[in-house]
Chains A and B, each alone.
Chain A
Amino acid sequence: MALLEIKDLQVKYGVIPALKGVSFSVEEGEAVALIGANGAGKTTTLHAISGIVKKAGGTITFGGQDITNKPAHEIVGLGISQVQEGRGIFSNLTVLENIRMGAYLRKDAKGIEEDMGRVYRMFPRLEERKSQVAGTLSGGEQQMLAIGRALMARPKVLLLDEPSMGLSPLIVETIFRTIKRLNKEEGMTILLVEQNAQMALYAARRTYIMETGEIVRSGLSKELKNDDAIRKSYLGL
């Protein structure tokens, strides 16, 4: 059974449907991507999983447990962390306070220290700037902070919402190499939302394609990469 299982998920904003019955799954240790154009419903899907938006129908199960109507803070406690679109950094707090915030629900001081070391090894830049107010970091550094902070919760699944947004190609590559390494070397389960289809197909084993609130295609990334229709509409080749 899949670690994260979404079945017939529906979300409405007012009367307007944003998700019209979305189903997909993420296996333990797998990296899965969800790609699609602006307004397809990718962020809404992640917000539904994290308990930020109300569901109009469908179910979400995580590790066999129904989490469809659980409050957001409990979902984090169960092991689902999200790196928000636009990073969601607390720009009024320092880098260190942001990182500690990621471990908000944890009580094991020693484990927190260890994980902090791990985050700093992953992103040395953050250690150099730990007492700086986070709002003054560059976009790329903020993305590193957002990922590092999410890891501080020791999640079982990491949800990433457009980590490439607004970053230079070089930084995007660094970030995606880190994401891929997290998945391959540390076995972190990842659900990645992207508009940058190329990067998503590179990082994820499987990919779902979303259009106006529905999943229209899915498959192994390496197969989708060579599909003519996809090359045309998503990779611009």
Chain B
Amino acid sequence: MFTQQLMNGITVGGIYALIALGYTMVYGILKIVNFAHGDVFMMGMFLGMFFTQALGMHYLIAFPLAAAATAFVGICIERIAYRPIRVADKLAVLISALGVSIFLQNFAMLVWGTETHTFNSGIKVQTFRLGSVTLSNIQIGVIVLCCVLMVVLYLVVNKTKIGVAMRATSHSIVSAKLMGINTDKIISFTFGVGSVLACVAGILVGIYYDAVYPTIGYSYGLKAFAAAILGGIGSIPGAMLGGFVIGIVETFGAAYISSGYRDAFAFGILIIVLIFKPSGILGVKHVDKV
């Protein structure tokens, strides 16, 4: 029972982590919360479904295409909704984000309707037992893919030139520009990467739960946002850790206490952590020498 719940928790946790990375990377660079990110996740899900079902593609072709299309959506959001008001105050950004969120949900309703769709990826669910634990191939896929993507992201951010440019830009856009970094490009890249991760999460949720509907981004987005805050927003390892913590806590809470309070556990732990460590688990307070 315990190990079973742990595996279930890690599975959802990995998904929260993938979405949380988008929140945290954008926050790290622009110091804004992209409240439309949950809907980018939803778009990724629908696009994955669209390419496999409507266009009848094999998932190995459809999913990368969906990821690219979602990246395009994310990059457009930044261009259209955030870039023109980059110097404006944070309230304007928040309102713009909510506008994008409403737009994306309505777009999905218009194109795909308000009903719940099955995902039908063409991937068959197979379960098998390991001792007392039942696992599905999907679950293992989710865990492995989440881990691989996080390692890749870690390497990109820490070992590549564009990664250093991202870290420089997140520290100070002006200083980064003075190094010759095209910061607009870096910002677009960040939105693109965050959106690809959200799309992967969307497709995984689609396969795992086999239910797709236009407002699904709301609850996932909110929990992933909680995960990002919990880990320390702006911190990449923090978002990963926060995602797993929230996934595991909510799964255990639902299993051992009450499934009715499933969502309360995630936010309960968030509140507790914020009371004792407002910057989040791995968050750092910036101390810059002047």
Contacts and interface: CB of A to CB of B under 8 A. Distances in A.
A139 B289 CA distance: 8
Given A142-B289, A166-B290, A90 B172 contact: yes
B178 A50 contact: yes
Contact of B178 (A88, A97, A100, A166): A88
Contacts of A219: none
A50 B172 CA distance: 15
Nearest to B161: A104
B178 A92 contact: no
Contact of A90 (B167, B289, B290): B167
A72 B177 contact: yes
Contacts of A135: 287-289
A104 B179 contact: yes
B168 interface: yes
Interface in B244-290: 287-290
Contact of A84 (B161, B175, B180, B289): B175
A91 B178 contact: no
Contacts of B288: 91, 135
B148 interface: no
Contacts of B181: 73, 104
Given A93-B164, A101-B168, 12 more contacts: A52-B178, A73-B183, A76-B178, A82-B178, A84-B175, A88-B175, A90-B167, A93-B167, A93-B168, A135-B289, A149-B179, A153-B179
14 contacts: A47-B174, A51-B177, A52-B178, A84-B174, A86-B290, A88-B178, A90-B172, A91-B288, A92-B167, A101-B168, A101-B179, A104-B165, A104-B179, A104-B181
Contacts of A102: 179
**Which of A89, A93, A104 has the most chain B CB atoms closer than 10 A to its own CB?**
A104
Contact of B180 (A73, A88, A97): A73
Interface in B178-236: 178-183
A19 to B, nearest CB: 18
Interface string A150-169: 00010000000000001000
A97 B178 CA distance: 15
The 9 closest A-B pairs by CB, nearest first: A76-B180, A72-B177, A88-B175, A105-B180, A73-B182, A104-B179, A73-B180, A104-B180, A90-B171
Interface of B: 161, 164-165, 167-168, 170-172, 174-175, 177-183, 287-290
A106 to B, nearest CB: 9
Contacts, number: 67
Contacts of A100: 164
Nearest to B286: A91
Given A135-B289, A166-B290, A153 B180 contact: yes
A89 B273 CA distance: 32
A22 B222 CA distance: 51
Contacts of B289: 91, 135, 139, 142
B149 to A, nearest CB: 23
Contacts of A81: 178
**Which of A72, A81, A88, A89 has the most chain B CB atoms closer than 10 A to its own CB?**
A72
A89 B286 CA distance: 13
Contacts of B180: 73, 76-77, 104-105, 153
Contacts of B168: 90, 93, 101
Interface string A42-57: 0000010011100000
Contact of A76 (B165, B172, B179, B290): B179
Contacts of B161: 104
B180 to A, nearest CB: 4
Contacts of A17: none
A80 to B, nearest CB: 9
A71 interface: yes
